[in-house]
Amino acid sequence: MANLQSTILQLLTGMKFTILIFCLTLLFSLPLGLLVAKGRMSGNRIVSGIIRVYISIMRGTPLMLQLLIVYFGPWYIFKIPLRDLTIGDLDYRFVATIIGFTINYAAYFAEIFRGGIQSMPLGQYEAAQVLGFSKSQTFFRIILPQVIKRVLPPVTNEVITLVKDTSLAQVLAVSEMFIAAKSLASAQVSVVPFVVAGVFYYIMNGIIEIGMNKLELKLRYYS
């Protein structure tokens, strides 16, 4: 029993990192995804072409590989010894993790946003234009709020996937929850730490689902 308690406590320390990776990734990748979506729809063919390639690489290769490349890339390509770099008490392993997750999830979010933006009827733009709204006012006041409602379900799916994907940070030896569970399991020769970790992930996703449902209900005031 005491064993289980200490397992939970040790996993909670790992969970701190899991939640941190999760929150920082969302914080950066949602706005970046919007920017990428705009670039993908840009009339400038070079911009939209580059972004199209970026998105297809992010979606077409394993996230784990992308994390490794972000981590080792600076050293192999530029001989910059980032691996030993620390920023405050964050070491580059953690920074690389956040960068890797952010650029990967931004690509997925961008495609979702693009679909949402393109599903908006032309009439909304025309009505706004005739009323004198500028392009950016039209986007932020008229289009984006409606797009958010439309993309909420697919965004929720990605957010739930992100919770589980945080476990991939283990390839850079970031001490998130999964790595903690693994070392506990081998020390205790038991699957209990894995089960406890699984319950944590499950609870986290349960909370996310409840939150997103609430948001969806809140946006149901119009159709």
Partner 1 sequence: MNVLEMQNIRKSFGDVSVLRDISLTVKKGEVVAIIGPSGSGKSTLLRCATTLEKIDGGTIAICGRALASNVNGKEIFAGKKDLVEIRSMFGLVFQNFHLFPHFSVRRNITESLIHVRKVPKAEANAVADRLLAKMGLSEKADAYPCQLSGGQQQRVSIARALAINPEILFFDEPTSALDPELTGEILKVIRELAEEKMTMVIVTHEMNFAREVADRVIFMADGVIIEEGPAFDLINNPREERTRAFLAGY
Residue from the set 21, 149, 166, 168 that interacts with partner 1 by CB under 8 A: 149
How far is Cα 106 from Cα 55, in angstroms, rounded to an integer? 9
169 contact partners, CB below 8 Å, separation of at least 6: 17, 21, 67, 97, 101, 176, 178, 179
Query: What would the two tokens of residue 218 be?
Result: 């809140």
Could you list the beta-strand ranges (E) of the chain: 86-87, 90-91
Which H helix or E strand runs over 84?
Answer: none
Q: Is 137 in the site for partner 1 (CB under 8 A)?
A: yes
Which among 101-109, 138-146, 153-161, 179-187 is the span making contact with partner 1, rule CB under 8 A?
Answer: 138-146
Q: Is 136 in the site for partner 1 (CB under 8 A)?
A: no
Torsion of CA 86, 90, 92, 96, to 10 degrees: -160
In whole angstroms, the minimum distance from the beta carbon of 135 to partner 1 comes to 10
Q: Is 221 in the site for partner 1 (CB under 8 A)?
A: yes
In whole angstroms, the minimum distance from the beta carbon of 66 to partner 1 comes to 36
Interaction residues for partner 1, span 28-67 (CB under 8 A):
none
Residue from the set 146, 156, 175, 205 that interacts with partner 1 by CB under 8 A: 146
Query: Three-state SS for 62?
Result: coil
Interface residue list for partner 1 (CB under 8 A): 121, 123-124, 126-134, 137, 141-142, 145-146, 149, 221-223
